[in-house]
Amino acid sequence: MHVLKARPEDFVVEEIPSREWKDKGAYLILEVTKKERNTEDVAQLIATKLGVKRSSVAYAGLKDKHAVTTQYFSVRGKGKHAVDWLRMDGVSFKAIGFTDEPLSLGSLRGNRFAITVRNIDSLPGYRSLFPNCFDEQRFGEHNDDVGKALVRGDFSEACALIDDDRVLGFLAEHPGDHAGALRQLPKKLLTLYVHAYQSRLFNRVLELLVEERGVEALRSARIPLLGFGTEDVELYKRVMEEERISPRDFIIRSLPDISSEGGERQAVINVSDFWFGELDDDELHPGKKKVVVTFSLPKGAYATNVIKRLWSQPE
């Protein structure tokens, strides 16, 4: 079985911005390269060191902690000299320009990857089209299960799955008020749970479509992310029966702020700039080989899915 992320240096990611930086503007752009640091911790450090509100610091994408990543942050109202105040172990900062608008999640064209795949014997055949599944990073330990409980209105189950002192403390003082306990959590976190469940449902529908039609037939298809606003639910009929849910369940009346209208996602992604390095001895797995694979993906696509499918049986 191939091995990924044995070391942070095995997984290198560089964001591809969707805009050009300017010489002047309301927002300073920082290029940040980090190792074993999560994105939100870096954003908080920038705000603290530069003496601005956390809301004045934005980024275009969340990146894996256990990797070497280069990504972009915007800071309102600061000049290039501000970078001199930024110090953090495992992180380097570079002021590279300005923009008139803050960065936001998704304001990327895509990401470039250089991934070391270990514990292998040979190279797989090249493919350029892959199902655009969400991968395990989206789900955490059981984010999707919490999301399912929220959508089905089983707030007791949701609380049981969430290990958080805010939930436990509230229930100790207000036994049985599970909706109230959930309200102690940030809206952003609760929404993440619902989105994780939508992602699980999407993956199941996409899996069924790939089995039925094959990847090539889905090249230009877009699949709904199920929500209360989804009009064409025919693709989800089987999955909704299995899950015992309906689109209206995504209207969460006791927690209306996390109700989800849904959306859509490309069914298939095209990998570009693909390159296999030479097979080399894997120093971490004696008798096995390793290889560096580089490629680019559009935003929202998971490189780990590409690697998994390359080293699995052909579809």
Q: Enter the tokens of residue 72.
A: 């972009």
Cα–Cα distance measured from residue 150 to residue 197, given in angstroms and rounded to the nearest whole number: 9
For β-strands 68-76 and 11-17, DSSP reports them as parallel
Cα–Cα distance measured from residue 146 to residue 155, given in angstroms and rounded to the nearest whole number: 9
Cα–Cα distance measured from residue 50 to residue 301, given in angstroms and rounded to the nearest whole number: 33
Do residues 215 and 315 make contact, with C-beta atoms less than 8 angstroms apart?
A: yes
DSSP state of 123: P
Q: How far is CA 138 from CA 87, 193, 199, 213, 243, in A?
A: 30, 9, 8, 26, 19
| Largest distance between two CA atoms of the chain | 61
Q: In a 10 Å sphere around its CB, with 0-12 CB exposed, 13-18 middle and 19+ buried, how is residue 229 labelled?
A: middle
- Residue whose entry in the numeric block shows the structure tokens 């849904």: 262
Cα–Cα distance measured from residue 50 to residue 86, given in angstroms and rounded to the nearest whole number: 8
Three-state SS letters, 44-86: HHHHHHHCCCHHHEEECCCCCCCCEEEEEEEEECCCHHHHHHC
DSSP state of 256: G
Residues identified as active-site: 64
Backbone angles phi, psi at 268, to 5 degrees: -130, 145
